[in-house]
Chain A
Amino acid sequence: MFRYIIRRVLISIPLLIAASFLCFGLTTFMGDPLGEWKLQRPRPPAEVAAAEHRAGTDKPFLERYKDWAVNFVQGDWGTNVGPGHGTADVKDKVLKASWVSARLVIGAELIALLIGVAIGVIGAVRQYSMFDYTATGFAFVMFSMPLFCLALMIKTLGIEFNNFLQDNGFGRWIRTAGPPNGGFNGSITDQIYQYTGAFILPTICLVMIQFAVYSRFQRASMLDVLNADYVRTAQAKGLSEARVIFRHAFRNALIPIATVFALNFGATISGAIITETVFGWQGMGQLLVQAVNDKEPYMVLGFLMITGVFIIFANLIADVMYAVLDPRIRLD
């Protein structure tokens, strides 16, 4: 097991290096970061040369990649290069933004997983019941639902709810513009109040989209298990229904969902980008959109590298978890 993990980590390293090359290619494909600046008005050649030197575009592609990679490994992820975009440090900004996003995403994913598993199990145990049909129908609608529309509607409902609270003599609890800049402060109840107010709407959005995926997978895997021979054996032995479902079926039905959870990470990042755009969070989504609009290559690279590392790591966890949960799977 330990040897397998070590080997998987070692395999991930060349993958990450190749991915970094691909990402660098992608950011080059974005175009000249100085293009717009040059077009605004004629610039003196010396100024252009200085700006190009700062952006690194005076060097050939491979040399630029080498410079960036060496600096990246040493912890210098570069800065914004476009004139007028400031000199924000990429590492600082990306890490800060990913922390903002992670707080939102991790909570939402866990809630979605819990709800999804519960609904999937009930749907499988009571197959073709009213509950099953309702859950299936709802999941179908959620699959077809554009996340940003859902987010916009939930945001509007949140504002309405705030108005309702205010009319009845309470404060405007729900925030629709991200967590407060100065962080949460005041007494512990104040902090909880602010925290839930800031997190509740985006969390609901992400949960509603993601739980549909989990509930469908959980229902399918639970149905598979419930039809297995050993479950019939357990029932034939005269075990109580609850014991059969929870001790024999449920635990085995969790195996596929564990990997789905880890492999779903990419979809989660995409979801977070859109949710953050709607709710104005200063997270990874906003960072990416801003950097793409500014054509800031190193900022985009920082984003891509963080994302790539997280996804490779999630895939690794998926593989390991699969092996841990199902001893029949041999790793070597």
Chain B
Amino acid sequence: MTEFLSATAVGPGGAPAGGQDISGFDATEARKQWQVVIRRFMRHRLAVFGMGMFVFLLFVAFVGGAFWKHSYKTTEFPRYSSPSADHPFGTDLLGADMVAQVIRGLRFSLQIAITVALVSTFIGVVLGAIAGYKRGWVDAVISRFIDLVLVIPGLVIVVVMARSSFSNVAGQSGSNWLIVAMYLSFVFWLSIARVVRGMVLSLREKEFVEAARAMGGSTMRIVFRHILPNTVDVIIVNATLSVALAVLSEAAISFIGLGVRSPDTSLGLLINQNRNELNLHPWLFFIPFAFIVMVSLAVNFMGDGLRDALDPRQRRVRA
């Protein structure tokens, strides 16, 4: 709290003395709020480390493939060769270079996880805000629907949908990662919508919302300009943490064989393909595994740091 006070009260040039241009000081207020958040985040060493690691992994996943000497398509290397200078992660059953495979798997895993986070956050925020602001039957319909879907565990819902004719149609055109991402999003938006609804329900009774309404603000304006900005911190933290959860969920369903399918791949699928190699060719298992843990740890560290930075009063543990 102390750095919060000092940062807002004393600007870069110290407190404005009497007679100075006060308006210039006021104009920087909004930015300073964010500076405070960034400063607080930067002081959280583990969070900065997590963010660095996440950026690094993103870079490896989306750009790394272009720089790596072997293509994921080449399968002419000796099969099951252990890690060496030419193949730092060894080669697999088909004689493909594991570095290329892992880079590609990481790209699909991150692609799915980020899509899930964006789509589910968007749906969750919109429906949660509508339910909380409109109340009445709209709220009842949305909330009851959420209650209903939560009766079945999310993983089970995704597994049941996994072999639907819908995914088969998409499967013929080749890639199915987007379908997997959509199924996961369908399960993930529920909890975000619940949280946002609860916050909007209490915010809509606050004086500043009443003032906005008294001044003739439209519903859209009140919701998007006055209410939602006050929920941004929770939404950002939730979206960040859902990336980690999505990576783990996607890996789990791909491992059961009901998630991403060839020609697409993912870290979970790589582990599934190499599940029996743990004894003889351990690198085929441990390297994709290490990448899953790295993504998930990096995102969790980052999310915790963000939570501390955005809302220092909140002392909740992650479920």
Contact = CB atoms under 8 A, between A and B. Distances in A.
A15 B151 contact: yes
A307 B251 CA distance: 23
Interface residues of B, number: 46
Given A146-B252, A295-B163, A23 B152 contact: yes
Interface stretch (B12-20, B59-67, B72-80, B293-301): B293-301
Contact of B156 (A153, A270, A293): A270
A288 interface: yes
A273 interface: yes
B176 to A, nearest CB: 14
B166 interface: yes
A19 interface: yes
A141 B292 CA distance: 12
B159 A292 contact: yes
A189 interface: no
Interface stretch (B22-30, B111-119, B222-230, B311-319): B311-319
A18 B146 CA distance: 12
A147 B163 CA distance: 23
B152 A270 contact: no
Chief secondary structure at chain B's binding surface: helix
A159 B165 CA distance: 40
Interface residues of A, number: 50
A175 interface: no
Interface in A121-169: 140-141, 143-149, 152-153, 156, 159
Contacts of B255: 146, 148, 274, 277
A2 interface: no
Nearest to B268: A146
Interface stretch (A26-34, A55-63, A94-102, A179-187): A26-34
Nearest to B155: A270
B252 A311 contact: no
Contacts of B150: 266
Interface of A: 15, 18-19, 22-23, 26-27, 29-32, 35, 140-141, 143-149, 152-153, 156, 159, 213, 216-217, 219-220, 260, 266-267, 269-270, 273-274, 277, 288-289, 292-293, 295, 300, 303-304, 307-308, 311-312
